[in-house]
């Protein structure tokens, strides 16, 4: 990861770092998601969706409001996932587990953190975009 100063808006370092930590949480020794998909595959797209939703959930939970729009990034993967009408639900579930896993590392985390519904969080991270649906 580049240092926060390398970003046009350093707050976006958090979004990017949390996205990458979302992938990290999927390792077999952690939450055990299938990370074997190649770029452009449906499996790869699903993992990207999980990682980005994880970032959005953790940012929202911590009160981080990045300037990058999570909904736009997630929307770019939806085309790949159109064949699976439950993909977004499965991705949101996996992202919720990943967000809880990551948030449990906070020094003050004594209880599991509850992550709000995916639609609420996505809308909260990008108040300028209307909620599709």
What pLDDT, in 10s, does the model give residues 52-81? 999 999 999 999 887 766 666 666 677 667
Is residue 100 in some structural domain?
yes
What pLDDT sits at residue 131?
34
The residue range of the domain holding 65 is 10-125
Is residue 32 in some structural domain?
yes
Number of domains making up the chain: 1
Distance in angstroms (rounded) separating the CA atoms of residues 21 and 16 = 9
Is residue 2 in some structural domain?
no
Averaged confidence pLDDT in the chain: 79
Is residue 131 in some structural domain?
no
Distance in angstroms (rounded) separating the CA atoms of residues 48 and 42 = 10
């Amino acid at each position: 990861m580049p240092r926060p100063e390398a970003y046009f808006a350093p707050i976006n370092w958090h979004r990017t770092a949390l996205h990458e930590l979302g992938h990290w949480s999927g390792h077999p020794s952690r939450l055990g998601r299938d990370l074997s998909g190649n770029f452009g595959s449906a499996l790869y797209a699903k993992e990207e969706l999980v990682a980005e939703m994880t970032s959005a959930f953790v940012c929202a939970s911590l009160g981080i409001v990045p300037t990058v729009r999570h909904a736009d990034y997630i929307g770019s993967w939806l085309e790949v996932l159109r064949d699976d009408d439950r993909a977004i639900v499965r991705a949101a579930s996996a992202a919720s587990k990943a967000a809880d896993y990551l948030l449990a590392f906070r020094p003050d985390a004594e209880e599991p953190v509850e992550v709000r519904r995916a639609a609420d969080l996505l809308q909260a991270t990008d108040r300028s975009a209307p909620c599709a649906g």
